[in-house]
Structure 1
Amino acid sequence: MALLKIARMGHPVLLARAAAVEDPLAPDIQDLIADMIETMHDANGAGLAAPQVHRSLRLFVYHVPVSREPSAPLSIRALINPEITPIDDAIMLCEEGCLSIPGLRATVPRHERVHYRGLDQNGVPVEGEASGFHANVLQHEADHLDGVLYPMRIVDHTRFGFSEELLRYPPSATREGDAP
């Protein structure tokens, strides 16, 4: 296994629609998944899409840490050729960061509940419903496969900034009359 170089915002691989994975069990795909998991762990991420490691393929790895969903953590998974669809029109606001945009965070609207389907690391079809942080991470990583970065989804740019500053000055600390 190896740590992979993470593409940063501005690299064209992050803006392209990724190609379908033809053979999920191909040795190079299996090696890529293992390397992506190691890279995600090393970078303290909750997810990592193949375009973020310079491979324009419809594949991502993710997990739901107990710190984000104490009652519903999920171990590391791969989702190959995913399809993510909203279950209804309910929207939640998510605090997002991205390994390709280090040091920055923003509040981004996401669907509260989604249906997902695709193939797991073993090429077995999987599908289910996700809500909360699980839905958030699925939508964020699937966006990478379509060339979309979270800043493209920001509605309120007053909550886009450096992580340390946003922690120091939470929405409740804004001046009276300012947008939250």
Structure 2
Amino acid sequence: MDIVLAVAQRGEGILKLTAAPVADDEFGSAWLRGLADAMQATMLARSGVGIAAPQVYVSKRVIIVASRPNLRYPDAPDMEAVVMVNPEILRFSDDCLLGEEGCLSVPDQRGQVARAAQIQLRYFTLDGVQVVTAFSGFPARIVQHEVDHLNGVLFVERLST
């Protein structure tokens, strides 16, 4: 049975914190796998395309990126969900794209945010395997939005006026 967690809302302190890295001895643990499963179930239940652990009251550097068309993002490209532990954006492209964003933690607001069109990213799998990869377009936007959550930043702080 999938566990759907409560989602922290704008104004709650946990969303302003810098999340702690997942420790070496937590990789491969039942706790980390359970967190990822519950985060995914929560994201899917709320039609999200990404989620960060602080949004479910866990101040750890874990995100899920899962671009797919849904009610909130009908034109999103389809990709398999990727769990990223301790993600770090290594490089941002100079070219930026303006695009609409929303957030499970700010359900009453959407807005235009400028984000790098391409990024290079390093993260670890749930088992601690390092991955270095690149994302572009909408998936790159999701990664940047979710990494912001790990650094205590909400998209509304980046809105283009």
Do they superpose with TM above 0.5?
Answer: yes
Q: How many residues align?
A: 153
- Which residue in 2 is equivalent to 1:107? 112
d(CA) in 2 for partners of 1:155 and 1:7? 24
Match of 2:34 in 1: 31
d(CA) in 2 for partners of 1:121 and 1:65? 22
State the partner residue of 1:63: 66
**Aligned to 2:66, what secondary structure does the other structure show?**
strand
Partner of 2:83: 78
**3-state SS of paired residue (1:103):** strand
| Unaligned residue ranges in structure 1 (runs of 5+) | 157-180
Equivalent pair of 1:63/1:75 in contact (CA under 8 Å):
yes
**Unpaired runs of at least 5, structure 2:** 70-74
Equivalent in the alignment of 2:55: 52
1:136 & 1:85 partners in 2: Cα distance? 15
Task: Provide the C-alpha distance between the structure 2 equivalents of 1:64 and 1:113, rounded to a whole number of angstroms.
Answer: 15
The share of aligned pairs that are identical, in percent, is: 35
Which residue is 1:18 aligned to? 19
Give, in whole Å, the separation in 2 of the partners of 1:87 and 1:141.
15
> Partner letter of residue 43 of structure 2?
M
Per-residue deviation, 1:87: 3.6
Give the Å deviation of 1:94.
Answer: 1.4
Residue 90 in 1 paired to residue 95 in 2?
Answer: yes
TM-score by length of 2: 0.91
Q: Which has the larger radius of gyration?
A: 1
Q: 1:29-75: CA deviations, max 9, x gaps?
A: 11000000000000000001000000000001121215412xxx211
RMSD between aligned alpha carbons? 1.1
* 4+ runs deviating over 2 angstroms: 85-88
Q: State the alpha-carbon separation in 1 of the partners of residues 45 and 94 from structure 2.
A: 35
Query: Structure 1 residue 109: deviation in Å?
Result: 0.6
Instruction: Pick the aligned partner of 1:125 from 127, 130, 149.
Output: 130
Alignment of 1:158-177 (within 5 A): none
